[in-house]
Structure 1
């Protein structure tokens, strides 16, 4: 999905499928497991479109679009030449646009789904393992097998199931020193000690680190404890020179002066000598890791926790 109408899909944030003569109401009444109803729909398509190629395939694509795509699902849209891709999230139910003639729309398809574009990037920046999903010639393909790679390309800090994920993009083609990973473990250990001293759950042992060193690559931290991993993300933010000013609700907040953030920043200053800080910063620089914008989500998560604890008292 994408191709000819890719730019309109991205600009106006929707996806669509053709065969306007088959109305959404008709598709909504069909049970995908009712083989008789599916066969009848296939025959209708043959009658309407005068012996189209692969009518069964048309049926499966219509059913998949209208029945199997749900709010929150991730959609990957390839550009016309597949050089560029946009990763999107479904934000609404399928609907039928009945007034196309009154709209400034190049796409003539009525059945549409609203989306939110999360990130647009050159295709070659994705993991090599995701490149296989572009081999499909179907308008709609299931890409569940590539979910982890897509999530990591789309977001730098995210929650999935019971786990929190922090992703650092490695942007160098040079050989990576093993000491760089040791520096990250030092930060993890210091963060664990801060958690112990402040009655915050979470340890370095509960955090998995996956390293993908292909096509530049990434460091992928996974933990079931959001507070520990959020603090680890903030530690990287502090050391890499990121700011801690966020917009939350109706407030603009400087977190560097707030409770747990101030305590953690001061703790890092006490426990990390200048040499260790510079070593970690050099590791970030040698891997050409930039502070991800999504790390501010970690700040907001911790701010919510801090605010809720204040209300308890």
Structure 2
């Protein structure tokens, strides 16, 4: 694999916009979680204040709050404290942007869904109300839901996010954890992140964990042989419960991309390790230099250690590597055809 060919793959890695924001939206105690998720939207109430009303508000936030407060006092005369709903509605309508990340919790936050805002706020004139649909909130955003999981599977730090009881909460402080939940190979602020999901239910031994170092050693050698930059160190952050995850990051995109390709090769795209039968080389998966290197040029004991770590920890092949590998295969096929 020539370095110039390897360099082309960088453009195919998912790039996350560092300007996007992250919001947690409550679902009325979980009552609307299924409706939001199955209907692909989030919504806010106070239907007497319409989208047209909001669009006519002054640009100044202070003035807009005063106008909106007067509107609430007129249309919701029994509402004692209008300050809170005014602030939340204004934030919902003005601060959420297309491309932002949305998190919604179910009842007790036992389930959590992650999605992306797709488009501007709209008004659903006739919400469906029947035995399966109870949400009559008209002001909505369309959401492309990307991930749905149980709260217990999230990193411990992310659990603190659910302490907020606001209708809409800014959770951008948790961005690194949310990014790693929704993606397993991505670039953000010119730094490549690779998230390895550890799926074993067993206790992780120190030996198994330390065997991951063998992968790094193999990559250093592979990069040297193929003139790929490899000087920068890989930074690793760990959520080490079982199951858990490792997040590797570096500005040396080429080195960590090679790491992801090696992981894919070792977990299903190339060399597989079996404690009873030894090593088997599979022809499917990553073509070219990496499989050839693992099969012929690499230190066998290092491969043994690396493959054993993958097997013991049950590390899942990063899903976001699959389109990159398909692009690599297509480029290789194109060169052969040419």
Does the pair score TM above 0.5? yes
Worse-matched range after superposition: 18-27 or 282-291: 282-291
In the alignment, is the contact (CA less than 8 A) between 1:128 and 1:215 conserved in 2?
no
Q: Is the 8 A contact 1:227 1:302 kept in 2?
A: no
Query: 18, 21, 45: which one pairs with 2:48?
Result: 21
Is the partner of 1:81 in helix, strand or coil?
Answer: helix
How far off is 1:7 after superposition? 0.8
What's the counterpart of residue 318 of structure 2? 292
Matched, 1:135 2:163: yes
Partner of 1:91: 118
For residue 100 of structure 2, what is the aligned residue in structure 1? 73
| Structure 1 segments unaligned to the other structure (5+ residues) | 244-255
Q: More helix by proportion, 1 or 2?
A: 1
Tell me, in whole angstroms, the C-alpha distance in 1 between the residues paired with 2:47 and 2:248: 46
Q: Tell me which of 116, 126, 140 is aligned to 1:112.
A: 140
C-alpha distance in 1 between matches for 2:76 and 2:226: 68
- Distance in 1 (alpha carbons) for counterparts of 2:202 and 2:220: 31
| 1:174–1:160 CA distance, 2 compared to 1 (3 A) | same
Bigger relative CO (Cα 8 Å, ≥ 6 apart): 2
Question: Which residue number in structure 1 is paired with residue 259 of structure 2?
Answer: 232
| 3-state DSSP of counterpart to 1:240 | helix
- For 1:118 and 1:100, locate their aligned partners in 2 and report how far apart those are by CA, in whole Å: 24
In 2: Cα distance, 1:192 partner to 1:261 partner: 20
Aligned-residue CA RMSD (Å): 3.1
Distance 2:222 2:321 in 1: 19
For residue 246 of structure 1, what is the aligned residue in structure 2? none
Aligned residues: 297
Structure 2: gaps of 5 or more residues? 1-25, 271-282
Residues 1:166 and 2:194 are matched in the alignment: yes
Normalising by structure 1, we get a TM-score of 0.82
CA deviations 1:256-286 (Å, max 9, x no partner) are 689x841121112223344432321221233
Alignment counterpart, residue 249 of structure 2, candidates 212, 218, 222: 222
Question: What's the counterpart of residue 147 of structure 1?
Answer: 175
1:266 and 2:289 correspond = no
Name the CA shift for 1:116/1:237 in 2 (closer, same or farther; >3 Å).
same
C-alpha deviation, 1:62, in angstroms:
1.0
Q: Distance in 1 between matches of 2:156 and 2:128?
A: 42
Aligned to 2:304: 278
Indicate the larger mover: 46-55 or 171-180. Answer: 171-180
Aligned to 2:216: 188
SS of alignment partner, residue 316 of structure 2 = coil
Distance 1:224 1:53, change over 3 A: farther
The alpha carbon displacement at 1:234 in A equals: 1.4
